[in-house]
């Protein structure tokens, strides 16, 4: 049922399985125990970083099939996307997986977009096992969006660290698992930030918009949730989100940002925090869903944020539009 921009599922589909894989730095961070697999070598034994990212997705899909106890033949559809130009990490990973595939591009908002669309199709009875997955790779992203690492460019304090990680979920119409109660697909917002080393600021307005829209659509507020998880606003974007919400009279007490959860801010030198499509996806699978599954949290919002620019639009001096998609998640401990 639609309420404003929010789709509420009368019979909420469930996340039957979830998985996260990551690289070296992710394996040194506070969430390392939540990952299904961690790689010491960020090349993943491939001959370039783009292939390494593809291998992250393939590994993540493998864990999803194993944990969900399904074969490839039982996957009805996969939603996947990534940050590489023309989403090639997903395209090539899906070549190997050989399942029906609908490619997405939502930049770092992709995990929430994929999860939301998977929930829509599952709730409509259009699939029994729908995969939602995304990834990012620090080295592949840096040379694409900023400068190749070999240049040794200095990182600014507002810069965020693109996660080398993939995360995914297996969505089912019914069964055991965390429930997907609702989804809000976001609208593009642009506050005319043009600094590609300050993505958090570019994405915060979209996050504020989608969150306020969801609260308005559903008649809820921050107090109704154990936590509101944003995708990867980092320190700068999180502070800006708080300011934007305060201007609307809203205080977000239990706000957590995936970009600030994945790494140790004091020790891991990630500047303003983590980012990348794989950041929120892996934090979802390595931290948020386990919290809900155990009942330590019962009701949360997961809102991944994306910056919709490219190297070309940056060179053409365009500002950076942001988008945020939101998914409402409920613990299976909540009966009813």
CA distances from 232 to 1, 51, 129, 235, 281 (A): 29, 24, 28, 9, 10
295, 329 contact by CB (below 8 A): no
Q: How far is the CB of 259 from a second copy (least distance, A)?
A: 19
Binding of a second copy by 5 (CB under 8 A): yes
Q: How far is the CB of 14 from a second copy (least distance, A)?
A: 17
Pick the binder of a second copy from 101, 194, 220, 298 (CB under 8 A): 101
Given the complex with a second copy, which of 85 and 333 has the nearer CB atom? 85
Distance of alpha carbon 188 from alpha carbon 78, whole angstroms: 24
Q: How far is the CB of 191 from a second copy (least distance, A)?
A: 11
Binding of a second copy by 184 (CB under 8 A): yes
The residue range among 112-120, 156-164, 273-281, 293-301 that interacts with a second copy, by the rule CB under 8 A, is 112-120
Say if residue 240 is exposed, middle or buried (CB neighbours under 10 Å; 0-12, 13-18, 19+): buried
Pick the binder of a second copy from 3, 28, 62, 88 (CB under 8 A): 88
Binding of a second copy by 214 (CB under 8 A): no
Binding of a second copy by 195 (CB under 8 A): no
Binding of a second copy by 104 (CB under 8 A): yes
Given the complex with a second copy, which of 5 and 226 has the nearer CB atom? 5
The residue range among 25-33, 86-94, 162-170, 242-250 that interacts with a second copy, by the rule CB under 8 A, is 86-94
Distance of alpha carbon 120 from alpha carbon 127, whole angstroms: 10
Residue tagged 């979209």 (tokens):
206
What are the φ/ψ torsions at residue 183 (nearest 5 degrees)? -140, 140
Pick the binder of a second copy from 28, 190, 195, 217 (CB under 8 A): 190
Output DSSP code: residue 19.
E
- Record the tokens describing residue 140, joined without a space: 């592949």
Binding of a second copy by 264 (CB under 8 A): no
Binding of a second copy by 95 (CB under 8 A): yes
144, 311 contact by CB (below 8 A): yes
Binding of a second copy by 126 (CB under 8 A): yes
Binding of a second copy by 92 (CB under 8 A): yes
Pick the binder of a second copy from 321, 327, 328, 330 (CB under 8 A): 321
Q: How far is the CB of 327 from a second copy (least distance, A)?
A: 13
Three-state secondary structure readout of 140-182? HHHHHHCCCHHHCCCCCCCCCEECCEEEEEEEECCCCCEEEEE
The two beta strands, 227-230 and 255-257, are: parallel
Q: How far is the CB of 101 from a second copy (least distance, A)?
A: 6
CA 113 to chain centroid: 8
The residue range among 13-21, 24-32, 77-85, 233-241 that interacts with a second copy, by the rule CB under 8 A, is 77-85
228 three-class SS: strand
Binding of a second copy by 62 (CB under 8 A): no
256, 228 contact by CB (below 8 A): yes
- Record the tokens describing residue 265, joined without a space: 């801010």
CA angle 267, 273, 275 (to 5 degrees): 135
Binding of a second copy by 231 (CB under 8 A): no
Binding of a second copy by 105 (CB under 8 A): yes
Q: Which residues bind a second copy (CB under 8 A)?
A: 1-2, 5, 7, 48, 50-51, 76-77, 81, 83-88, 90-92, 94-95, 98-107, 113, 116-117, 120-121, 123-128, 144, 184-190, 308-313, 316, 318, 321, 323, 325
């Amino acid at each position: 049922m639609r309420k404003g921009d929010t789709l509420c599922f009368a019979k909420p589909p469930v996340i039957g399985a979830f998985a996260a894989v990551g690289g070296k730095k992710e394996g040194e961070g506070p969430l390392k125990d939540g990952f299904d697999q961690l790689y010491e070598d960020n090349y993943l034994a491939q001959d370039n970083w783009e292939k390494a990212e593809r291998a992250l997705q393939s590994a993540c899909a493998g864990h999803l099939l194993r944990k969900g106890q399904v074969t490839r033949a039982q996957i009805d559809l996969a939603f996947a996307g990534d940050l590489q130009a023309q989403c090639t990490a997903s395209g090539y990973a899906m070549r190997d997986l050989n399942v029906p595939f609908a490619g997405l591009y939502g930049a770092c908002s992709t995990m929430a977009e994929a999860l939301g669309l998977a929930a829509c199709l599952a709730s409509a009875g259009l699939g029994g096992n729908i995969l939602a997955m995304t990834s990012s790779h620090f080295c592949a992203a840096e040379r694409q969006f900023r400068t190749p690492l070999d240049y040794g460019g200095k990182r600014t304090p507002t810069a965020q660290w693109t996660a080398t990680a993939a995360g995914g979920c297996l969505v089912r119409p019914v069964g055991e698992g965390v429930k997907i109660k609702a989804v809000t697909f976001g609208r593009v917002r642009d506050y005319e930030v043009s600094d590609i080393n300050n993505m958090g600021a570019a994405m915060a307005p979209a996050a504020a918009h989608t969150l306020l829209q969801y609260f308005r659509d559903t008649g809820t507020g921050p107090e109704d949730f154990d936590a509101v998880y944003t995708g990867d606003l980092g320190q700068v974007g999180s502070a800006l989100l708080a300011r934007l919400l305060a201007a609307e009279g809203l205080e977000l007490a239990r706000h957590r940002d995936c970009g600030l959860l994945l790494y140790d801010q004091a020790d891991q030198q990630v500047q303003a925090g983590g980012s990348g499509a794989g950041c929120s996806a892996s934090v979802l699978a390595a931290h948020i869903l386990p919290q809900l599954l155990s009942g330590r949290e019962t009701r949360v919002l997961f809102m991944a944020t994306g910056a919709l620019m490219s190297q070309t639009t940056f060179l053409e001096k365009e500002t950076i539009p942001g988008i945020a998609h939101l998914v409402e998640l409920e613990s299976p401990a909540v009966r009813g």
